[in-house]
Structure 1
Amino acid sequence: MDVPPESASVPAAPEAVPERSDSASILFGGAPLVLSDSPAAKPTSSWQGFLAKFGLATKPSPQEIARLEHAERQARFEEEVRRAVWTRAVSVLVANRKGGVGKTPVSLLLSGAMASVRGGSVAVLDAADDSGALRLRAEGTPRLGMGELVRDINQVKTAGQLKGYTAPQTSFADVIGSAPERPRLSGEDIVCVSKVVDEFYSIRVMDSGNVYRAEAFQGAVSVTDVLVIPITNAGDAVIDALELLRQLRSAGGAPERLADTAVVLRLHDGRPETPAVADEVERLLRDAGVTTLLDIPYDAHIAERGELTLGKLQPATREAFVAAAAAAVRTLQDNVSND
């Protein structure tokens, strides 16, 4: 897919060195990034590394160059996420009417990548009209959640009180899920909860439902700064994504801006894929004005459909979510600065 200049720093997928088995990120056990002119940045593999120890100059191999470029790129993504600041809390809405495209995993893992880099202050909400799967896919079994928070919202005055409705994650994100029997959420419920959450968290991520006309979805759109759309390489997933963009643009104003700046994440779920379908997906998105498309590689931990832990992802998948977090943060900075 042709990528415009403003999105060129975000690669389709961070897999420049497929054979690598560790993460380039220091957050996930990789080595700290060093400047290219420092001794530690000299070739370190095989005979090149041996000669470098004695101060003998050698030309880095293509594999070594690719490894260093990959590490530098990942470090830039992390720096973008870590250093981003706003004068108010900001929000991300994860949406696609098509079920099974990964809205809940993306909500958890994208927020987890942000929280792990920034050291927390990221909340994830179940913003579906009916109870969603967020509580089931998150770590932990909290006693309270979205339904109880809506009920008690006028009594929540401190960060400590709000924490009681969350499930803390090992990524440092906090999840506010829903019990299966909670009442249907209204648009006002989403707005009221968002206002309270924004008092105590810097970033709010919302996992939406499948009905665009639902009150809860409309409420979520009204308190969103950037839209993230998960898709797969399948026609129905892309058609529903395009319909979402169309509806938002038809509303004008802030919803139209969400459509124009949407970040699309293409998840590879292990099902057979063909280059022709992938090319058509990219063409349709490009024609619809999408300028940021990133790939999330297949990961067995996501495919298991159980509890998700950021640290259990494969290194390439974790890095892909950090790249996605950088793309979302970049869009947040543009959108919020234009308020």
Structure 2
Amino acid sequence: MGTTPTQVMAFPSIKAIVRDNGTAEVIVAGNSRIVPAGESLQDLRNNALALVVGEAQTLQRPVRVQIEDPEGHGELIVHPDNKLESVSYEPRTARRRAETPATTPETAAPAVIETTPLTAPKPAKPAETAPRQPWPPAASNVTEAAVEEPAPTLRSLKDTSFLVSAPVLEPATQGWRGALTRLGIRMNPSDEELSEREDIRTVSQHWPGPRTIAVVNRKGGANKTPTVVMLSAILARYSGAATVAWDNNESQGTLGWRTEKGSHDRSVLDLIDSSTELLSPSTNAAEIAKFVHHQTADKFDVLRSDENEEGDHEVTAEEVDIAHQVLTRYYRLVVMDSGNTARAANWRRMIDHTNQLVVPVTAIEDRAEAARLTLQTLESRGGHDAELARNAVVIVSESTDAKRSMSGDALKRAKDEAERIAKGFEPFVRAVVRIPYDPALVNGPIRYEALQPATQRAWLAAAAAVADGF
């Protein structure tokens, strides 16, 4: 029995955009995924629809997709078994076009589109339904009329300005240079201070639209939760952007144990249950405080995982979609902690929403190997996942075991091992940052101000490397 369009949910919002410059993207719940290039416009359409079929297979139901390309726009119903149903299609109105006979390849350039079978990622079974409907219907034989722009005879006033664009360099504030400046002898800042200023400028920016950071490593004890807390604290402090740290463990995570608890016990499951109210246009922005736990010193919020001792609920892909849609309405930055199972539905869905991947690792070989395998898994999946792996930021923290022993030889070995692991990752990712050992990160609630100055500076550099990827 067929599915009528009214029976297909409009959630999540999906849009497939194909451009005449040879690029395309699929936007799922506000998150853009680049479509692999093709040799023709139809190849781009097929590649875009392949991503949408993957969404339908993940959700195990048909989905709606708004389509837009140089020839028109409309709506399709896409089924998990690779079948497409056309709901509507409206050709784009030609502007200043003239009909011409299709006598040569040059004059016949938008030809009738022949649809080709769409190769979807791992379809459940070959489609045994009616033939695929074309996207779009056959195009008309038209060609652009040439429009010549008159050559300017005078220079445009847009090409000049009387404003001075170079910023004035502020004097030094740190070290002996800063001391001399305070005594009235103006000194330029050192290279170290300039580097710190640049990192602060980077993390202080605001970006159009929300950004999602995923912190992943399939091995426990790799410093995922401290990394989530530190990145959230620094980005919230310097940018002033509303920031939330979300414990996306499939059952029970530890982010709530390492951060302040609010006056309630609500978790992500309570937020999902109240999502209709929270997404209502009439709901006040302050209502989100009922579900998150505010960090009074570090100025970000925490969305805890379910702390049911029975552990009888695992977060699904669709629940991740709902929670992410709610959070990106109320926050500009979402930093996601994760569990250790890259095969879990909520883990994979988190990756779909991610703009920047962060892979923390302590300088121990099994943690480093787990980080490598995590990146390798994403790279092997291709598309959006592979792009995240290539642009990942790896954060290498020195081993705590050597520090506890306080042995000089052990300390040197710990630093050497951290350096070896960091250099090992450098050829494969966008950035690698090393973090020194700090006892304030080992136990109890984590506070940025409790860190040693060298640790604060290292985490600032790590946050800047992450922000560079937005």
Query: TM class, shorter-chain normalised?
Result: 0.7 to 0.9
- 2-structure distance, mates of 1:286, 1:179: 36
- Specify which of 168, 182, 186 is matched with residue 294 of structure 2: 168
2:172–2:190 Cα contact (<8 Å) kept:
no
Q: Percent identity?
A: 26
Structure 1 residues 205, 39: closer, same or farther in 2, change over 3 A? closer
Any residues of structure 2 matched to 1:123-162 within 5 Å, and which?
123-141=244-262, 142-157=264-279, 158=283, 159-162=285-288
2:247–2:338 Cα contact (<8 Å) kept:
yes
- Specify which of 322, 343, 355 is matched with residue 213 of structure 1: 343
- 1-structure distance, mates of 2:277, 2:184: 67
Q: Equivalent residue for 2:225?
A: 104
1:84–1:329 Cα contact (<8 Å) kept:
no
Q: Equivalent residue for 1:228?
A: 358
Q: Equivalent residue for 1:256?
A: 386
* CA offset digits 1:165-191 (Å, max 9, x no partner): 111112111110124216211111112
* CA offset digits 1:223-250 (Å, max 9, x no partner): 0011000001111111111111111111
2:271–2:291 Cα contact (<8 Å) kept:
yes
Count of aligned pairs: 284
Q: Equivalent residue for 2:147?
A: none
- Specify which of 420, 440, 457 is matched with residue 301 of structure 1: 440
Q: Equivalent residue for 1:3?
A: none
- 2-structure distance, mates of 1:53, 1:162: 49
**Secondary structure, in 3 states, of the residue corresponding to 1:199?**
helix
Q: Equivalent residue for 1:178?
A: 305
Q: Which amino acid aligns with 2:448?
A: L
- 2-structure distance, mates of 1:217, 1:269: 26
- 1-structure distance, mates of 2:174, 2:215: 41
1:120–1:172 Cα contact (<8 Å) kept:
no
Q: Which amino acid aligns with 1:330?
A: D
- Specify which of 250, 257, 266 is matched with residue 396 of structure 2: 266
1:35–1:41 Cα contact (<8 Å) kept:
no
**Secondary structure, in 3 states, of the residue corresponding to 2:400?**
coil
* CA offset digits 1:127-176 (Å, max 9, x no partner): 11111001111112442121211222222133222221111112111110
2:396–2:433 Cα contact (<8 Å) kept:
yes
Cα offset, 1:84, TM superposition? 3.6
Determine which structure has more spread, i.e. the larger CA radius of gyration: 2
Q: Equivalent residue for 1:91?
A: 212
Structure 1 residues 41, 300: closer, same or farther in 2, change over 3 A? closer
Any residues of structure 2 matched to 1:283-294 within 5 Å, and which?
283-287=423-427, 289-294=428-433
Q: Which has the higher contact order (CA 8 A, sep 6+)?
A: 1
Where is the strand percentage greater, Structure 1 or Structure 2?
Answer: 2
Q: Equivalent residue for 1:18?
A: none
Q: Equivalent residue for 1:68?
A: 190
* CA offset digits 1:254-279 (Å, max 9, x no partner): 11111000000011243236265335
* CA offset digits 1:97-119 (Å, max 9, x no partner): 11111101110111110000012
1:122–1:201 Cα contact (<8 Å) kept:
yes
Cα offset, 1:40, TM superposition? 10
Q: Equivalent residue for 1:319?
A: 457
* CA offset digits 1:41-86 (Å, max 9, x no partner): 98455xxx49x9476x9xx8xxxx8x73322221211111112422
TM-score, reference length from structure 1: 0.77
* 1:310 aligned onto 2:431: no
Structure 1 residues 192, 37: closer, same or farther in 2, change over 3 A? closer
Structure 1 residues 234, 38: closer, same or farther in 2, change over 3 A? closer
Structure 1 residues 251, 172: closer, same or farther in 2, change over 3 A? same
Q: Which amino acid aligns with 1:173?
A: F
Q: Equivalent residue for 2:56?
A: none
Where is the helix percentage greater, Structure 1 or Structure 2?
Answer: 1
Between 34-43 and 72-81, the greater mean CA deviation after superposition: 34-43
Q: Equivalent residue for 2:373?
A: 243
- Specify which of 309, 316, 319 is matched with residue 189 of structure 1: 319
- 2-structure distance, mates of 1:286, 1:297: 18
- 1-structure distance, mates of 2:388, 2:320: 18
1:92–1:205 Cα contact (<8 Å) kept:
yes
2:174–2:193 Cα contact (<8 Å) kept:
no
- 2-structure distance, mates of 1:38, 1:240: 43
2:422–2:434 Cα contact (<8 Å) kept:
no
- 2-structure distance, mates of 1:191, 1:238: 30
* 1:278 aligned onto 2:418: yes
Unaligned runs of 5+ in 1: 1-33, 333-339
Q: Which amino acid aligns with 1:107?
A: V
Structure 1 residues 310, 277: closer, same or farther in 2, change over 3 A? closer
Structure 1 residues 37, 79: closer, same or farther in 2, change over 3 A? closer
Q: Equivalent residue for 1:81?
A: 203
- 2-structure distance, mates of 1:39, 1:321: 20
- 1-structure distance, mates of 2:173, 2:344: 59
